[in-house]
C-alpha cells in the first residue's frame, strides 16, 4: 500500500486508495447526461444505502443489479478511479454517487438537467461512524483517540474536509427542483416513505407494493447480508472487519454513547459558529 494515504486536489483532501489526480480530472471532464441521478453525501451519511436504493427506484424494483453487481460498480463514485473502467457498462438512466462539494462538480453537470439527492446525517453520528471507519480502513489515517479524531473532524483534517463546508455548499446551490434534500434519520424512521419521496422526485411512479419490496431489500439487515453491498470481497488487509464492519450499526443517535457533555458543548459551539450565517432550520441536529 502506498505510504502516501492522502492527496489534496484543489484544496480537497482525498485518499489515494480510491482517488488519483487522474480520477479527479476525469470527474471534472465527465460528460454528465440530462437523465443522470447523483446521490451526494458527506462520507458516512448513507452513501452505500443510496447505491442500493437508487437502482431499484430507477428500474421499477428489479433486484437483479443489486444482487449481481457490486455497489461501487452499479452506482459508481464520480471522483473515484473505478469510474473510467466501468462507465461503458452503465445503462441509462445512470445513477452515481459523489462526495464532492458543489464547487467541484464538473461543468457538464451545471449545463445538464441531472438530478441530485443530497443526503445529510446528524454530524455527531457522522463523526462516530467515521471514527470506526478510520479504525478499520487501512487506507485511512489512524484516527487516534476519539477526542483527537473529534478535533480533526471539526478542523476538516479528514477526507472531504469540513462537514459544515460540504453541507453549506450544497444547501446554497441554486438547483431549484433538480435537488431533493433527505436525511439519514428520516430514512431510518420510515424507509418506505423516504423511498416514496425519492421515487416521486425521480418521476418513477412506483406502486406501494414495489416501494415495500425495495424497502425490505434496503433494510440494514438485508444489506448486511448482501455480498454485493457489504464489502465482504475486500480483504481484511484493507478493511479489517475484526475492528469494525462497514455496515456497522445503522442507527440514529450512537453519538450518545461517545460524547461526554464537554465534547458535546465543544462540538455544538463549533457547528453553531460555522453555521451562523445559515438558516438554522436547515440544520436540524445542532
Binding site for ligand A3P (CB under 6 A): 41, 43-49, 125, 129, 132, 188, 218-220, 223, 247-250, 254
Catalytic residue among 72, 99, 134, 217: 99
* Shortest spacing between CB 126 and ligand A3P, in angstroms: 8
In sequence order, what DSSP letters do the residues of 38-107 get, joined into one string?
EEEE-TTSSHHHHHHHHHHHHTTS--HHHHHS-HHHHS-BTTSTHHHHHGGG--SSPEEEE---GGGS-H
Nearer CB in complex with ligand A3P: 37/223 = 223
* Shortest spacing between CB 276 and ligand A3P, in angstroms: 27
Grid cell 446521490 — which residue? 39
Q: Is 161 left (phi over 0), alpha (psi -120 to 50) or beta?
A: left
Per-residue b or e along 19-54, where b marks 16 or more CB atoms closer than 10 Å to that residue's CB? bbeebbebbbebebeeebbbbbbbbbbbbbbbbbbb
Distance between CA atoms of residues 219 and 52, nearest Å = 10
For this structure, is 19 an active site residue? no
Residue from 43, 36, 37, 50 nearest 191 by CA: 50
Nearer CB in complex with ligand A3P: 45/164 = 45
Nearer CB in complex with ligand A3P: 129/183 = 129
Nearer CB in complex with ligand A3P: 35/249 = 249
Distance between CA atoms of residues 25 and 47, nearest Å = 22
* Shortest spacing between CB 176 and ligand A3P, in angstroms: 25
* Shortest spacing between CB 95 and ligand A3P, in angstroms: 14
Enumerate the β-bridge partners of residue 95: 37
* Shortest spacing between CB 111 and ligand A3P, in angstroms: 28
* Shortest spacing between CB 2 and ligand A3P, in angstroms: 22
Segment 209-218 long-range contacts (CB within 8 Å, at least 24 positions apart): 210/60, 210/61, 213/61, 214/53, 214/56, 214/57, 214/61, 215/191, 217/52, 217/56, 217/63, 217/66, 218/49, 218/52, 218/53, 218/56, 218/191
Nearer CB in complex with ligand A3P: 19/34 = 19
Nearer CB in complex with ligand A3P: 83/191 = 191
Distance between CA atoms of residues 286 and 281, nearest Å = 10
Give the catalytic positions in this structure.
99
Amino acid at each position: 500500500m502506498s505510504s502516501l494515504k492522502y492527496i489534496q486536489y484543489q484544496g480537497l483532501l482525498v485518499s489515494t486508495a480510491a482517488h488519483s489526480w487522474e480520477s479527479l480530472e476525469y470527474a471534472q471532464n465527465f460528460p454528465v447526461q440530462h437523465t443522470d441521478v447523483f446521490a451526494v453525501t458527506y462520507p458516512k451519511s448513507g452513501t452505500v444505502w443510496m447505491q442500493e436504493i437508487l437502482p431499484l427506484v430507477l428500474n421499477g424494483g428489479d433486484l437483479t443489479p443489486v444482487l449481481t453487481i457490486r455497489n461501487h460498480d452499479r452506482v459508481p463514485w464520480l471522483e473515484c478511479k473505478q469510474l473510467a473502467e466501468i462507465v461503458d457498462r452503465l445503462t441509462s438512466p445512470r445513477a452515481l454517487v459523489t462526495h464532492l462539494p458543489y464547487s467541484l462538480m464538473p461543468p457538464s453537470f451545471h449545463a445538464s438537467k441531472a438530478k441530485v439527492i443530497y443526503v445529510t446525517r446528524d454530524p455527531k453520528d457522522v463523526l462516530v461512524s467515521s471514527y470506526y471507519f478510520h479504525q478499520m480502513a487501512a487506507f485511512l489515517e489512524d484516527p487516534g483517540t476519539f477526542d483527537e479524531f473529534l478535533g480533526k473532524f471539526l478542523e476538516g483534517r479528514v477526507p472531504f474536509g469540513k462537514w459544515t463546508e460540504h453541507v453549506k455548499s450544497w444547501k446554497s446551490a441554486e438547483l431549484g427542483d433538480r435537488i431533493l434534500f433527505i436525511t439519514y434519520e428520516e430514512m431510518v424512521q420510515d424507509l418506505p416513505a423516504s423511498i416514496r419521496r425519492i421515487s416521486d422526485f425521480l418521476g418513477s411512479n412506483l406502486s406501494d407494493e414495489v416501494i415495500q419490496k425495495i424497502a425490505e431489500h434496503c433494510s440494514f439487515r438485508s444489506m448486511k447480508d448482501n455480498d454485493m453491498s457489504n464489502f465482504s470481497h475486500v480483504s481484511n488487509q484493507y478493511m479489517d472487519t475484526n475492528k469494525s464492519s462497514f455496515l456497522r450499526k445503522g442507527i440514529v443517535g450512537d453519538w450518545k454513547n461517545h460524547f461526554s457533555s464537554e465534547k458535546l458543548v465543544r462540538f455544538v459551539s463549533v457547528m453553531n459558529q460555522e453555521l451562523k450565517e445559515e438558516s438554522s432550520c436547515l440544520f436540524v441536529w445542532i
